[in-house]
Structure 1
Amino acid sequence: MDININTLQELAGATPEILKYAGINKIFLFYGDMGAGKTTLIKSLCAALGVKDEVTSPTFSIVNEYAAENGPVYHFDFYRLKEQGEALDMGYEEYFFSDNYCFIEWPEKIAGLIPDQYTGVRIAVAEDGARQITVENI
């Protein structure tokens, strides 16, 4: 599924379509360059799931946990990981296999640890600032 938006502010409008398309998948992998809008989109997804907490990038903490109506939502940012073993040390399995929503930024840093089923979200930025969001269930 492809979604085209003109500005970063329009990312929120893509949220219901992405959640509907994902179906029962609760693991989301977000790909895109720095500043593409991954965290902004995750904020909108969290709001749609009933998260009342402030959603911020967990760049330094690696994972943030947010309270939501149907259980916790986990938000990962693996950008600063130097090696995949750091995710093992933090107990990533407890999160990924908890049957709660997991939003993962920079999943390429932990490629060997990704579950078999997930929803991939790629955000590409055009020169004019427009974004193409490609969503794929794996």
Structure 2
Amino acid sequence: MKEVITYSYEETLAMASDYAKTLPKGSVIGFVGGLGMGKTAFTTGFVKGLGINADVSSPTFAICNDYIGEKARVYHFDMYRVESWDDLYSTGFFDYLETDAYILAEWSENVFGALPDDAVIIEIEKIYENTRKFIFKSKSDYIED
């Protein structure tokens, strides 16, 4: 388990950008944290760290946003409204797992059982107005909590 505290939006972007460079293609990240915690900010930095020039936004209504670069692809899911396995299947989530794309899933607790065993779970806590604590766990660490 690793913890990182960022004190601004810019620090969150930089931290996520650096983190993206450490993960192999096909990695899955599940976010746990309420509204306004920084899930989309982290994704913005992550995408930039992979060299993808894209306008990142929360996929609340689209369910999945796709960011494509020359060397990497990111699927950014919002699982907030996913309430059943049928809902999850309808997103195409399982098909995306079969690719070498990075998958970042907001509200991952709604689909926890569908995440691969090697998924990274990032819990995000708001400390102050612009200060966030990012707690990086393996899926097995998260289950033990």
What is the TM-score of this pair, normalised by structure 2? 0.84
8 A Cα contact 2:25 2:100, kept in partner: no
> Do the aligned partners of residues 102 and 58 (structure 1) sit closer, same or farther apart at CA in structure 2, a change above 3 Å counting?
same
Note if contact 2:29-2:121 (Cα within 8 Å) is conserved in structure 1.
yes
Structure 1's 70 and 24: CA in aligned 2 closer, same or farther, altered over 3 A? closer
Calculate percent identity across the aligned residue pairs: 28
Considering only aligned residues, what root-mean-square deviation do their CA atoms show, in Å?
Answer: 1.9
Aligned partner of 1:9 in structure 2 is 10
Aligned pairs, number: 138
Are 2:115 and 1:114 equivalent residues in the alignment? Answer: yes
Partner residue, 2:83:
82
For 1:59, give the aligned amino acid: T
Letter in 2 for 1:57: S
Segments ≥4 residues shifted beyond 6 Å: none
Q: What amino acid maps onto 1:115 in structure 2?
A: P
Question: Which secondary structure does the structure 1 equivalent of 2:42 belong to?
Answer: helix
Check whether the contact 2:17–2:47 (CA below 8 A) recurs between aligned residues: no
Code of the aligned partner of 2:62? S
Using the alignment, how far apart are the partners of 2:90 and 2:50 within structure 1? 28
Structure 1 residue aligned with 2:49: 48
Aligned partner of residue 117 in structure 1, secondary structure: coil
Counterparts of residues 58-97 of structure 1 (less than 5 Å): 58-97=59-98
Conserved? CA contact 2:26–2:99, under 8 Å: no
> For 1:12 and 1:46, how far apart are their aligned partners in 2?
9
| One-letter code aligned to 1:125 | K
Over residues 53-99 of structure 1, what are the superposed CA-to-partner deviations in whole Å (9 max), with x where a residue is unaligned? 21111111100111112232100001122323211123211112212
- Distance in 1, matches of 2:119 and 2:31, equals 11
What is aligned with 1:101? 102
Q: Structure 2: where are the runs of 5+ without partners?
A: 140-145
